[in-house]
Amino acid sequence: MTSDIPSTYAGRPIEYRTLAGAISVFVGGYLVTSSLTGQLAFYLGGRSQVGPEIIAFLLAQAVFAVAVVVAGLMLVRASLTSRLIAVLVVVAVVVITVVTQSARLNGGASLGGIPLPLSMTLANGYFMTALGLGAAWLIVRSAKLGWLAILATAILIPVPFAFAYAGIASIFTQLVMLALSGLVLAGIVVAGRPTRE
């Protein structure tokens, strides 16, 4: 008598690769958010006198975070084209965010200044991470109605600025934003089921 592990749950096949991919993207999302809301952009701007080893360390953290997300995207059963597009989306979002943050934190001279709308969106590490990783996940999952879940990322735009204007402590803002970002990304991951499943 053998005790096989059931291959279905509630009538649906258990897709372990997709589950592993979702976990990897979610964990990678936390790591990417930590990188994009840290000191990387400030130090890359060259305004702070730190050794190259500090910048190299922060860059390595960011690269590792992106690699974790990429690994998760590549695990999902999807066409190679979809997975490559999703990876490009993630890399582009991280690069755009760091460049915009650096321009904002270091005076914005290279880009002629950073308008407030761009500062609230492209330079917002919480929003950009959820938007970019959420879009990448929906791409590899061939989601249909799941794309509506991407609208939830909009809540991440005004909250940190509202907290800053209210004089709320930075550490509390970071904790709230990390929790809120996690909920938004989790919602997108759950919603990113193709209609055929």
The answer as to whether 3 is a domain residue is no
Q: Is the pLDDT of residue 129 over 50?
A: yes
The answer as to whether 167 is a domain residue is yes
User: Model's pTM, two decimal places?
Assistant: 0.84
**Amino acid making up residue 48:** S
Closest CA to 128 of 57, 29, 43, 40: 29
The answer as to whether 67 is a domain residue is yes
The answer as to whether 34 is a domain residue is yes
Provide the domain limits for residue 78: 15-191
Q: How many domains does one find in the chain?
A: 1
The answer as to whether 62 is a domain residue is yes
The answer as to whether 53 is a domain residue is yes
Q: How many percent of the chain have pLDDT more than 90? A: 55
For residue 193, give every residue at least 6 positions away whose Cβ sits within 8 Å of its Cβ, in sequence order, or none. Answer: 141, 143, 146
In DSSP terms, which residues pair with 13 in a beta bridge?
8
Of residues 13 and 9, more confidence is placed in 13
How sure is the predictor about 158, in pLDDT bands with cuts at 50, 70 and 90? very high
* Angle 173-91-45 from CA coordinates, rounded to 5°: 60
Closest CA to 134 of 51, 82, 60, 191: 191
Q: Is the pLDDT of residue 114 over 80?
A: no
| Structure confidence by residue, pLDDT tens digits, 173-197 | 999 999 999 999 999 988 887 655 4
The answer as to whether 98 is a domain residue is yes
Alpha-carbon torsion, ordered 45, 46, 51, 54, to 10 deg: -10
The answer as to whether 9 is a domain residue is no
Q: Is the pLDDT of residue 110 over 50?
A: no
